Amino acid sequence: MNTAIVDALTSVLPPESVIINPDSMTGFLHDEAAWAPYGAPAAVVRPADTLEVQQVVKACIETGTALVPRGAGTGLSGGANAIDGCVIISFERMAKVLEIDHANHIARVQPGMVGDEFRAVLAEEGLWYGPDPASSPWSTIGGNVGTNAGGMCCVKYGVTADWVRELEVVTGTGEIVRLGRRTPKGVAGYDLRGLMVGSEGTLGVVTEIVVRVENLPPEPITVAGFFDSLIDAGNAVAAIRGQGIRPSALELVDRYCLQAVDEWKNMGLSADAEVVLIGRTDSPGAQGDAEAGAMLRCFDNAGATLSMRSSDAQEGDALYAARRLAYPALERLGPVLTEDICVPFTKVAEVLQECADIGERHGVLVASIAHAGDGNLHPLLITPPGDDEAEERAKAAFDEIIAAAIAAGGTVTGEHGIGLLKLDGLRQEVSPTVAEMYRAVKRALDPHGILNPGKAIPS
């Protein structure tokens, strides 16, 4: 055990901020990335404020200890996984909304705030924060910043980085800084705010987040198209986006996912269709009607066997819930290895089909959900519990899907991050020179090499 760091922590932090009992640390060891490795931490700290975070960073610098920041542990790439002898920093005690400046449409929150709780607080004032990862009932704003989380609505409203204005950060040298600014525009200095977002805790520890907020959008209209083939559905997506329509969500759910949700929740969703597209528009009035109509025409022109506009919010919400519940429903069937590739709109059909073929070739069930409107596909590789041989086949399929994404002009991760699982994929996607630029930036901002080392960029 690394006693130096434990001594250092207990000498600067109050007892309630430090956990060193291994039994009490079990809930902090890893995120939800199936099969990503994790180690045994020396301690878990639960700081009460920024000054305590600073003490933790300084203690890690002094003792040469790795520091792993952690949100709710809903990550899917292993970015929050413990490293042997490390300190895990959990923000569960830094979880407040610090300020809502309604007139300037800005809110200031602590990193441990859960996404949906933040939305609920804002909604009381008629305000809204966009980024809506499927994990938002559990995941934290700080975790969302760490991974630059996306979600369903980002096809229209952008990802986390598009909403973050300013960050308070404890740097790799143990200093407290503010990066970015509260104003809508500003070009003073390098955009270190943007660099921090999505860097998975490898460049600094975020202790406070200022985001822009908007007025609550109108109730959406939901449309659905049922298709006999992935190809037809992919073509419908390309047609919608190619025409410049920007829905507030355009999600794909395949047969396996619908069935799994239905078996679990008995929602009466199962259809004979191979795949369903769920589109939403929150544009007001006639504009919303026009966009809903245009999406339905794209569904029909691409060969939908059935297309429908939800007659009320409840029906629309039921379809949408099927999308949200798909992941936990599938997890009931066995370990799920989640892919997260993003490809150009025009390649959605082709790559979806390729993922299915890859699964078939390796004897692995590949179910698919997708933020199809962004070309962000989540093939889900499912293996029977405890079947080691199937696990190996799934890993091979995982690698082939990554290669397919790159070959299609896409990326190996649309929104989940590199973490540990996608380090090989990143090496394939970017040139060695770019990887060296990442390392140069990492060395510049984390000169002691303590910030979540070994994650996010190739070492």
Nearest to a second copy of 209, 261 (CB atom): 209
Of positions 280, 378, 422, 455, contacts a second copy by CB under 8 A: 422
CB 155 → a second copy: shortest distance, Å? Answer: 7
Helical (H) or strand (E) element with 319: helix 313-331
- Binder of a second copy out of 76, 159, 253, 451 (CB under 8 A): 159
Cα 54 to Cα 205: distance, rounded to the nearest angstrom: 9
| Least distance between a second copy and beta carbon 280 (Å) | 17
Measure the CA–CA gap between 204 and 197, rounded to whole angstroms: 10
CA distances from 305 to 250, 259, 348 (A): 18, 18, 19
Kindly indicate which of the ranges 255-263, 316-324, 358-366, 419-427 contains the residues binding a second copy, using the contact rule CB under 8 A. Answer: 419-427
Using alpha carbons, select from 152, 177, 175, 178 the residue that is nearest to residue 164: 178
Sign of CA dihedral 91, 97, 98, 99: positive
Among 328, 438, 448, 453, binds a second copy (CB under 8 A): 438
Q: How many residues does the chain have?
A: 459
- Chain positions 83 to 122 lying near a second copy, rule: CB under 8 A, are 101-106
Q: Is 70 in the site for a second copy (CB under 8 A)?
A: no
Min. distance of Cβ 430 from a second copy in angstroms?
Answer: 6
Q: Residue from 214, 357, 360, 389 that binds a second copy (CB under 8 A)?
A: 214
Q: Render the burial of 113-132: b for 16+ CB within 10 Å, e for the rest.
A: bbbebbbebbeeeebbbbbb
DSSP secondary structure string for all residues of 44-80: EE--SSHHHHHHHHHHHHHHT--EEEESSS--SSSTT
The region of 44-52, 234-242, 270-278, 308-316 touching a second copy under the rule CB under 8 A is 234-242
Give least dist CB 396 to a second copy, A. Answer: 21
Residues of span 334-393 touching a second copy by CB under 8 A = 342-346, 371, 374-376
Shortest approach of a second copy to residue 350 CB, angstroms?
13
Under the criterion CB under 8 A, does residue 21 sit at the interface with a second copy? Answer: no
For position 185 contacting a second copy by CB under 8 A, the verdict is yes
Taking CB under 8 A as the binding criterion, the range among 9-17, 34-42, 84-92, 241-249 that sits at the site for a second copy is: 241-249
Q: Which is nearer to a second copy, 138 or 438 (CB)?
A: 438
Side chain identity at 453, as an amino acid letter? P
CA distance 299 to 225: 6
Spatial distance between the Cα atoms of 255 and 418, rounded to a whole number of angstroms: 28
